[in-house]
Structure 1
Amino acid sequence: MSSTSVLVAGLPCHPNLNATLSSPTPTNTSNAKDGDNLVMKVDGFKWRLVIAYDGTRYAGWQYQSSPPTIQRYVEKALMGATKLERKDLHLVGASRTDKGVHAWGQVAHFVTPFNYDRIESIHAALNGTLPEDIRVREISPAVPEFHARFSAQRKVYHYRIYNDTFMDPFQRHNAYHSAHKLNPAVMREAAKYFIGKHDFSAFVNASQKERVRDPVKDIFRFDVVQMGALLQLEVEGSGFLYRQVRNMVALLLQIGREAVPTDIIPKILATRNRRELAKYSLLAPPQGLCLMAVEYNEDHLRLPPGSPNPSFGRHYTIKSCKLPFY
């Protein structure tokens, strides 16, 4: 078995009213800064969430009271299900998706001072409280050393481009419309320049006052998949800088339009200067981007001893027909 595995997931969740309360076990989380929040060392039981959402109506993942964010709604649902305060949950997400960006495999963790003997009910409670465009696909017990953000080994993003003379109205919220005819073969060839370990300083959106901690990222694959009028750009890497994927896609769009040559990519990478990229392309819109999966070391995905089984949601069945035959 490989050293990493994709954290895959399932479906819905109501607080388990029959939960077994146990004494807390130590949970050591990182003391590093998680954005503006200091992730403190906390004691309790740790739980891992896999979350899917349509980001159209939200100002991204990161918590803020207004305009609404995904984290705000997830925390509100958790507070109702667990009866805990926000400060006690210590909810952390793997990726701070931007305004309008979607996710199929966002990962987060939270902490409770008590254990559950079953978690199907709390899973049902979360999805019963959350808006319809946010769903918890999986909830699992997590080992103390698991951290949704700092334990991540790889992330997979997809960017969808609808390439036709008019936009399919059913795709408008999860794909970018390009009326310019694109050349997928040229884009596929150009995407190879991103593969490998590079300094992506030229592809990060950050002010001069902000210092990127580690601009070197390793891109494992960058595929351009054509499905009729739809182009799906699939990128997998060790991690990504702020708006890095959307900046890479924007340049590939210009290359696909044959406005700039494919070898412009290594030249821009070598400059390590965001202003150089701005000469050729603007930031790609957010609605085409989706966080598909976050991968972790298998040791961080194991279940703690004595923990309940993961919940992937429940299917409901009809045991007998209650309608009369006519």
Structure 2
Amino acid sequence: MPRYALLIEYDGGPFSGWQAQADQPSVQQAIETALGRLDPGFAAGARIGAAGRTDAGVHATGQVVHADLERDWEPFRLTEALNYHLKPAPVAILAAARVMDDFHARFSAIERRYCFRLIARRAPLTHERGSVWRVRNPLDADAMREGASHLIGNHDFTTFRSSICQARSPVKTLDQIEIEEREIPFGREYLFRLRARSFLHNQVRSIVGTLERVGAGSWHPEQVADALAARDRAVCGPVCPPYGLYLTGVGYPADPFCP
């Protein structure tokens, strides 16, 4: 059976998350239903594997999955057919590629990239409501960068993971946190870009929520280091809402979508 990698974009708002659930809409189920209209194996209940299981409300611009199909598809035609059958769900297949049988969307990945969008402005959001977190007052980006610097590297991130996280170890290596500040009409936007081989459950949202407290002046940047060292979920800052978070990319030793 030929194996394909799919590059996927979706709005997580209408879904209960990535993972298929019996009585709730999920991104996985939407894609498998579309595949079921094209492939006998998925019509009989085959499953896809994903690089990351995003939570309810979390979006993606670069999710990657793999699927084993009975039919040998030309990748462009597979992309077009899937997008037709995904309508009207807010899910799009950006690209498809034939890959080796040992390619695995999750276990072959060597890095994952997330972006969190935060807007500071007095007025409520209209067009971007549900796709960005709004706070009322501007933040100190330099203070947030100073706080974030304490999190780069290999650490025990117990403080910054969900109490229901199923990872075997809280130790992760955070390779990058970039914080971009830019002016927008009547406010400012802050983009938090994080990169690591893998993340713990709620790690990104816990980090961004804590850094927002630093930017607002409620925390000193050094308190981020203290919270990390405490290895205690109770001393974490607030977990920010899911709808500002995007899975923007997954890295592999060889890009399956590179021509």
SS in 2 for 1:251: helix
Match of 1:123 among 76, 79, 97: 79
2:41 aligned with 1:84, yes or no? yes
Secondary structure in 1 matching 2:139: coil
In the alignment, what sits opposite 1:247? 206
Q: Return the match for 1:107 from 34, 39, 64.
A: 64
Cα contact 2:41–2:70 (8 A) shared by 1: no
Residue 272 of structure 1: how far off its partner (Å)? 1.5
Listed as ranges, the gaps of 5+ residues in structure 2 are none
What residue number does 1:219 align with? Answer: 174
1:54-112: CA deviations, max 9, x gaps? Answer: 11111110011322000000000011022333565330111000000000000000102
CA shift in 2, pair 1:90/1:161, >3 Å: same
Q: How many pairs does the alignment contain? A: 254
**Structure 1 equivalent of residue 22 of structure 2:** 65
List per-residue Cα deviations over 1:123-168 (Å, max 9, x = no partner). Answer: 2111011134100001100111110011111111000001011133
**d(CA) in 2 for partners of 1:83, 1:247:** 42
- 8 Å CA contact retained: 1:203, 1:244: yes
Structure 2 Cα separation of the partners of residues 62 and 152 of structure 1: 18
For the 8 Å contact 1:160–1:231, the answer to whether it is kept is yes
Q: 1:89 to 1:140 in 2, by over 3 A?
A: farther
Task: Kindly state the Cα deviation for residue 181 of structure 1 after the two structures are TM-superposed.
Answer: 2.8
Q: Does 1:192 align with 2:149?
A: yes
CA–CA separation in structure 2 for the residues paired with 1:234 and 1:170: 22
Q: Distance in 1 between matches of 2:25 and 2:207?
A: 28
Cα deviation, residue 192, structure 1: 1.2
Distance in 1 between the 2:199 and 2:37 partners? Answer: 33
Partner of 1:6: none
Q: CA RMSD in A?
A: 1.8
Distance 1:234 1:302 in 2: 22
Secondary structure of the structure 1 residue equivalent to 2:6: strand
1:295 correspondence with 2:251: yes
Q: Distance in 1 between matches of 2:69 and 2:36?
A: 11
How is 1:149-168 mapped onto 2 (pairs within 5 angstroms)?
149-168=106-125
Asked whether the equivalents of residues 159 and 233 of structure 1 are also in contact (C-alpha less than 8 Å), the reply is: yes
> Residue deviations 1:173-232, cap 9 Å, x none?
21100013311111122111111111111111124xx65312211111101101211111
Larger Rg over CA atoms: 1
Structure 1 range deviating more: 224-233 or 164-173:
164-173
Matches within 5 A, 1:136-151: 136-151=93-108
The structure-2 alpha-carbon separation of the partners of 1:146 and 1:119, relative to structure 1 and needing over 3 Å to count, comes to: same
Paired amino acid for 1:190: G
Q: Give the whole-Å Cα distance in 2 for the aligned partners of 1:47 and 1:86.
A: 17
Is 1:257 aligned with 2:212?
A: no
TM-score, normalised on structure 1? Answer: 0.74
Question: In structure 1, how many angstroms separate the alpha carbons of the residues matched to 2:169 and 2:46?
Answer: 29
3-state DSSP class of the match of 2:127?
Answer: helix
Q: Which range is displaced more, 84-93 or 268-277?
A: 84-93
Q: Tell me if the contact between 2:160 and 2:233 (Cα under 8 Å) persists in the aligned partners.
A: yes
SS of residue paired to 1:56:
coil
Give the distance between the partners of 2:43 and 2:7, measured in 1 at CA.
Answer: 19
Q: Is the 8 A contact 1:94 1:108 kept in 2?
A: yes
Question: Identity across aligned pairs (percent)?
Answer: 30
- How far apart in 2 are the matches of 1:254 and 1:182? 9
Partners of 2:63 and 2:249 within 8 A in 1: yes
SS in 1 for 2:252: strand
8 Å CA contact retained: 1:156, 1:294: yes
Task: Give yes or no for contact 1:88–1:111 (8 Å, CA) kept in 2.
Answer: no
Letter in 1 for 2:253: N
- Larger CA deviation: 222-231 vs 84-93: 84-93
Consecutive aligned runs of 4 or more in structure 1 exceeding 6 Å deviation? none
Distance 1:87 1:284, change over 3 A: farther
